[in-house]
């Protein structure tokens, strides 16, 4: 049996949702400020701090590339889904969200670094976007929370067109980075699922005899 959330539980969830909102506002603010600097320098930041496929010296750039973009259309296309999916991924707990984000960045970045063509420079938050997308789709299944299950289903239906970006359908777009990010989000849903303690069985009391044995 699942108990209904108490007033204190609802307040805690609301507090986490507020923190999630400000985390995503801050994330987008940093991304847009960097975009202005990037644009003013002819996108040198994206080329200098983007991921260069299979160059060992470029491995640290897996942490900087999600903050950088190659055009205004690029950042505009990522910002809406990043905010929506990021908030939904974070509203249950910012601390868990940060661990999920780290997993998505590392797995998605390494996957693209290994599999993209030589001389390719990768930058953009789309791998993180797809990671959050995968995470919120499966979180309700792993956490066994009906509301998150519904949210995941609604997001999957409303943004079903996003699944096309997991396939090689558009030249110049890292579909592999999208795919690895999505897989990392699904993996994060399982790794960071809620682990509830197993219910303890009540100890058995002493056995009583209803009938006394009698000798014949």
**What's the pLDDT at 161?**
84
> For the chain, what's the residue count?
216
Residue 101 host element (H or E): helix 94-115
- The CATH fold assigned to 11-191 is Rhomboid-like fold (1.20.1540)
8 Å CB contact between 148 and 167: no
Tell me the pLDDT tens digit for each residue of 73-129. 999 999 999 999 999 999 999 999 999 999 999 999 999 999 998 889 999 999 999
Q: How far, in whole angstroms, is CA 206 from its chain's centroid?
A: 52
Longest dimension (CA), the chain: 106
**What's the pLDDT at 214?**
41
Helix, strand, coil shares of the chain, percent, nearest 5, are 70, 0, 30
8 Å CB contact between 87 and 175: no
pTM metric for this prediction: 0.85
């Amino acid at each position: 049996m699942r108990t209904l959330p108490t007033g204190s539980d609802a307040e805690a969830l609301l507090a986490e949702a507020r923190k999630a909102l400000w985390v995503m506002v801050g994330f987008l603010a940093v991304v847009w400020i960097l975009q202005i600097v990037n644009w003013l320098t002819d996108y040198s930041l994206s080329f200098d701090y983007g991921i260069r496929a299979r160059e060992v010296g470029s491995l640290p750039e897996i942490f900087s590339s999600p903050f950088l973009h190659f055009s205004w259309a690029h950042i505009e296309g990522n910002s809406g889904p990043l905010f929506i999916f990021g908030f939904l991924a974070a509203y249950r707990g910012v601390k868990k969200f940060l661990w999920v984000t780290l997993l998505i960045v590392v797995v998605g970045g390494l996957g693209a670094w290994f599999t993209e063509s030589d001389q390719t420079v990768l930058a953009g938050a789309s791998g993180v976007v797809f990671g959050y997308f995968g995470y919120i789709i499966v979180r309700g299944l792993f956490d066994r929370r009906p509301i998150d299950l519904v949210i995941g289903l609604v997001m999957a239906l409303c943004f079903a067109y996003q699944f096309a970006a997991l396939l090689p359908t558009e030249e110049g777009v890292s579909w592999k980075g999208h795919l690895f990010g999505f897989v990392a989000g699904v993996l994060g849903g399982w790794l960071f699922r809620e682990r509830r303690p197993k219910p303890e069985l009540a100890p058995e009391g002493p056995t009583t005899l209803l009938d006394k044995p009698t000798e014949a």
